[in-house]
Structure 1
Amino acid sequence: MKLLFDLFPVALFFAAFKLAEMDPAAAAELATHWFGALAAGGEIGPKEAPVMWATVATIAGTALQVVWLLLRRKRIEPMLWISLGIVVVFGGATLWFHNDVFIKWKPTVLYWASAGGLAVAQFGFGNNFIRKMMGAEISLPDVVWLRLLMAWIGFFVAMGCINLAVAFSFPLETWVNFKMFGSMGLMLVFVVGQALWLGRHLPQGEN
């Protein structure tokens, strides 16, 4: 369930882009009417309309996540606040400057912020957030928890680099597809690999 919640803004981005791509002229007209004031010059063209709609959908989706948790009086994780801040800043710049470069950088900034947050917490304050999230379910030696943390840091750094490589080496449509399916696929492979690796280190009774 949490995975679906986390993927909500990404799914909105993908859906909004694909829908607007079907009729760019109509999408541009609607975009200009509804949020043209957020763009320099007040007008959005057909070529840029799909990514503009996708950007607005992502900002709205992330904001809805926060509102939903607030209404349910659930704890909002720091990374969700950071994600909201990043998408508002980079998404807002995309809208204002009519430039998809900013929104392409957004996933990388979020990945690297996650890696930096994990590293600062561990090496600055001695807090292993991976252990905090999983420690109630499994028991592992300290060195294994540290290796697992380093694996997540490395994964986030690598994902940030991969995102930039796809975003700036391939057409926009390819990056949009990668953002929805490629990133999710890589995350799934990493999580499965993590589970197999952890299985070797669990006490006999927990295997």
Structure 2
Amino acid sequence: MKLLIDFLPILLFFIAYKFAGIYWATAVAIGASALQVAWLWARQRRVETMPLATLGLLIVFGGLTIALHDPIFVMWKPTLVNWLFAAAFIGSHWIGERTLIERLMGQAIELPKPIWTRLNALWSLFFVFLGLANLFVVYVGSGFYEAHQALLATTGESGVDLSACATLYTGAVLDLCNTAQAREETWVNFKLFGMMGLTIAFVIAQSLYLARHIKEDPEPQALETD
């Protein structure tokens, strides 16, 4: 249930994007994230720092995306959120008696202290990697940034609604708009399927790693009878 709640804003963003484009999708994601925080407060009477920080970043960068009609702002949000997670994991090496990963998982499994430290470092590196991977897709892998800048330079506009290409442009400009939209969609697909797939793969790899270090309870000896 918690996993569904955590991924709900991303899932709703993806669905809204397919029907109405990135600007409506951004507005839906902001609303879903706000409802997520409200649900956590109603259920627990407290909200952890990360959902609040995520909502704050989404409001700021999503708001800039909608106001300026520039999707690059909302594309930066996953990187900043992942780097915020990385900073929290890295900081826990020096703040408090236990690392963040041990605080999250320590009630479920028992591991030696060096393994917790190593696992916390791996999660830190993973979040840094996710943030870099997102920027790579935005600026290099999808080619979106280059295509979007070419469209803006050709039209002379500061922002373009890529979901309305056919109604806004014709000829060569329409081709540029369609290209930018297709590359924008590549990023949206990566945000949902790519990042989720990388996270699932990392969790599986973590489970295999933990299986080597989890302490097993000794088997009870059979009672001897005369």
TM-score using structure 1 length: 0.82
Q: Distance in 1 between matches of 2:110 and 2:92?
A: 20
The aligned counterpart of 1:146 is: 117
Q: Distance in 2 between matches of 1:73 and 1:138?
A: 24
- Report whether the alignment pairs 1:3 with 2:3: yes
The aligned counterpart of 2:52 is: 81
Give yes or no for contact 2:88–2:100 (8 Å, CA) kept in 1.
Answer: no
Match of 1:52 among 23, 31, 49: 23
Tell me the amino acid that sits aligned with residue 196 of structure 1: L
1:132 is displaced (CA, Å) by 0.6
The aligned counterpart of 1:47 is: none
1:121 is displaced (CA, Å) by 2.4
Match of 1:158 among 100, 105, 129: 129
Gaps of 5+ in 2: 143-182, 219-226
Q: Distance in 1 between matches of 2:196 and 2:45?
A: 25
1:125 is displaced (CA, Å) by 4.0
Q: Distance in 2 between matches of 1:123 and 1:73?
A: 28
Q: Deviations over 1:100-138 (max 9, x none)?
A: 110000000000011011111222444411101110111
Report the 3-state secondary structure (helix = DSSP H, G, I; strand = E; otherwise coil) of the residue aligned with 2:88.
helix
Match of 2:210 among 183, 198, 206: 198
Report the 3-state secondary structure (helix = DSSP H, G, I; strand = E; otherwise coil) of the residue aligned with 2:67.
helix
Q: Distance in 2 between matches of 1:52 and 1:71?
A: 29
The aligned counterpart of 2:197 is: 185
Gaps of 5+ in 1: 21-49
Q: Distance in 2 between matches of 1:129 and 1:74?
A: 22
Tell me the amino acid that sits aligned with residue 16 of structure 1: A
1:74 is displaced (CA, Å) by 4.3
For the pair shown, the structure with the greater C-alpha radius of gyration is 2
Identity within the alignment, %: 44
Q: Which moved more, 1:109-118 or 1:72-81?
A: 72-81
Q: Distance in 1 between matches of 2:203 and 2:90?
A: 19
Tell me the amino acid that sits aligned with residue 186 of structure 1: L
Q: Distance in 2 between matches of 1:194 and 1:121?
A: 19
TM-score using structure 2 length: 0.75
1:203 is displaced (CA, Å) by 1.0
Give 4+ residue runs of structure 1 displaced > 4 Å after superposition.
Answer: none
Match of 1:68 among 33, 39, 59: 39
The aligned counterpart of 1:13 is: 13
Task: Give RMSD over aligned pairs.
Answer: 1.3
Q: Distance in 2 between matches of 1:126 and 1:175?
A: 39
Report the 3-state secondary structure (helix = DSSP H, G, I; strand = E; otherwise coil) of the residue aligned with 2:70.
coil
1:76 is displaced (CA, Å) by 1.5
